[in-house]
Structure 1
């Protein structure tokens, strides 16, 4: 190979490596931008849910107590859990916060995931009594019962998150020894033993999802039966008690729309988290199974994306939430514009005052200069 061929070969290699670096850089920037967008949308979207329910009396019903609590859990996922996972992706898998924060992050991840799905389980029970057993609903689903259910939803996941993880019961003996001998580790690996994988996934996902699926199946079956009954007795009801019928129909339609919206939320949650829990159980039970490393962050962030979807589902499928969102955003924008206008006016006044002072200063200076000259 002569010198020209050698130079051409080296130039080709350099160009190829530069292309690879450019491609890697572009993909890295896209990945970082997407992950940051998920975090920001999760925080802002769920804050919008909470503020809208607080501002609009029409949304202050028992079902939305669970919706607000779920939104708060999703905000904590975005603020407590996602940033650490983002840092791992940003630093190419390196962990820079020590073993204690590693356990805290893993515990929070398990805790808030479990809390979210338990909220959805509570919502399904609430809708079940509202549609399938409407006469028992005011008796069963009181504010006191709602607060008891919320307390259980927030407290019970501690048994499978912070307690077993900080006590070291969740992992294998080999991984526990590795952590002891590598206290300054640069990775935060999530290695679980088989009993913990089965128990935690069952409590966090499989059992609640089974309850929700059967509950919503009963809800939609009863909803279809009620709609057929209403269609068959419309004329008879209109003749005798039209006002009562209209009120019942409006209430029933409202309940059905709420059930449909929350059913879509449940479906979105299952779609987002089912791949992760399948992956989680398979990797824990099948030690010889090998998966690409890129699959793990994809599974995690697909599940995290569910925290973004809930507010979007409310805005699209629920008219009351959609109107409340519009009103809240309009008020927030008007308030921002008003404060911005006030700041501009204040800046203009200060500028005018400053200009006036500056115009007086040179004159006084000249007078002092002339006085000094005359002396």
Structure 2
């Protein structure tokens, strides 16, 4: 695959040899495959920008959606993916690589051509997904502790920690990326160092978050299913008690009066309270299911490339022009734009807010169209009315004089009319 030397397209080895197809500070040679890949990259970047912008707009228009901590994390996730889409698109479209001085080339290599900023965003996105997963787990498994200790201030502080940790951790990649002879490529001090960071990256960026999120969502699903079974048993027992109450009351009334009287059931619980609890539980289940799908998508998109990167750093061979590597890169890119689609299909609160936003926009467009149509009809009515009304004699004489180019003989006629 012809693209910048980065962790998605590492060089064939850790020496000074660069990836074939790289030329003058990462400029790729033109080819049919490269043009097709560029088209796919641009399409994914645009979809990521449009999708995540829509999510952010829905949250900004409806501030009530950001009341819960989960919504705050989802908003933050969309912001990260939006910035990632912009930076990714800019990197892929950066085909103008000027000749730079040695110092400037080193700075641009470390911060831009190495894709350091993009990997900072990727790491922050993973940590944010981990944060929202653990927040949901504590909310469902330890509701009292969540209510007493989880606040918006602490949530924002955890987001800040995620950004700072990502900036600091990914700095190693900027350090090993060096500009040499107009090319930006990683230079490892030794093979042991590459092995160490390869294993560390696999554990920190993928394995540890994967284990924690798997535990969180497994526990969430188990707790929700358990509560659903308990709720079903409770409703069944309440129904049986109500039925028995009806029978006993009807029988006692029949014995005392000699005829059967309609009996009123003894309510076990308030129907409004039960309905409210059911709605709340259903909302929790919907959020949990949505985030489970987001997590599953993350696993599908990132597992192949993380395993590939681990094998490469441990000394395995890797064909960067092979089909498998190209598929893994496309999967990683799709993770930036797939979350808004999941929210639109599964997250009911987001669906309601999105429909409300679209309805409001449609009403405004319709109202503006009707207003402009009414304005044009009014203007047309006025013009028709003026065209049917006769002109005053003096103005008509002047108009005739203008149409006849103010010749001498008609000027005399106009003077006589004005005198009369």
TM-score range, shorter chain: 0.7 to 0.9
Query: Aligned match of 2:127 in 107, 118, 122?
Result: 118
Q: 1:241 aligns with which of 251, 269, 282?
A: 269
Greater CA radius of gyration, 1 or 2? 2
Q: Are the counterparts in 2 of residues 82 and 304 from structure 1 also a CA contact under 8 Å?
A: no
SS in 2 for 1:293: coil
CA shift for structure 1 position 299:
2.5
Q: Give the distance between the partners of 1:364 and 1:282, measured in 2 at CA.
A: 91
Alpha-carbon distance in 2 for matches of 1:298, 1:96? 33
Per the alignment, do residues 364 and 139 of structure 1 end up closer, same or farther by CA in structure 2, a change over 3 Å counting? Answer: farther
Assess if the C-alpha contact under 8 Å between 1:160 and 1:200 holds in 2. Answer: no
Once residues 318 and 225 of structure 2 are traced to their aligned partners in structure 1, the CA distance between those partners, rounded to angstroms, is 46
Q: For the structure 1 residues 145 and 291, does the alpha-carbon distance in structure 2 shift closer, same or farther, using more than 3 Å as the test?
A: same
C-alpha separation between the residues in 1 aligned to 2:371 and 2:165?
49
**Distance in 2 between residues matched to 1:345 and 1:95, nearest whole Å:** 56
CA–CA separation in structure 1 for the residues paired with 2:351 and 2:362: 16
The Cα shift of 1:231 comes to 0.8
- Which residue of structure 2 aligns with residue 324 of structure 1? 353
In structure 2, the residue matched to 1:36 is 42
Counterpart position of 2:57 = 51
- Report the equivalent of 1:65: 72
Cα deviation, 1:290-333, whole Å, max 9, x if unaligned, reads 32424545433321211111010011112221122222234345
CA contact (8 A) 2:58 2:354 kept: yes
Q: Secondary structure at the match of 1:240?
A: coil
Q: Which residue in the other structure is 1:289 paired with?
A: 317
Quote the offset at 1:230 in angstroms: 0.6
Q: CA deviation at 1:240?
A: 1.8
Give the match for residue 160 of structure 1.
169
Unaligned runs of 5+ in 2: 1-30, 189-193, 240-266, 379-400, 412-420
Q: Give the match for residue 137 of structure 1.
A: 146
Distance in structure 1 (CA, Å) of the matches to 2:369 and 2:345: 31
Cα distance, 1:339–1:80 mapped onto 2, change above 3 Å: farther
Residue in 2 that maps onto 1:264: 293
2:305 is matched with which residue?
A: 276
CA distance in 2 between counterparts of 1:198 and 1:44 reads 35
| Higher helix proportion | 1
The answer on whether the counterparts of 2:137 and 2:220 sit within 8 Å (CA) in structure 1 is: yes
TM-score by length of 1: 0.74
1:167-191 alpha-carbon deviations (Å, 9 max, x no partner)? x2x46xxxx5xx3x41x22xx4467
- Aligned partners of 1:290, 1:29: CA distance in 2, in Å? 22
In structure 2, C-alpha distance between the alignment counterparts of 1:254 and 1:31, rounded to whole Å: 41
Give the drift of 1:276: 1.2
Q: CA deviation at 1:366?
A: 8.7
TM-score, with structure 2 as normaliser: 0.66
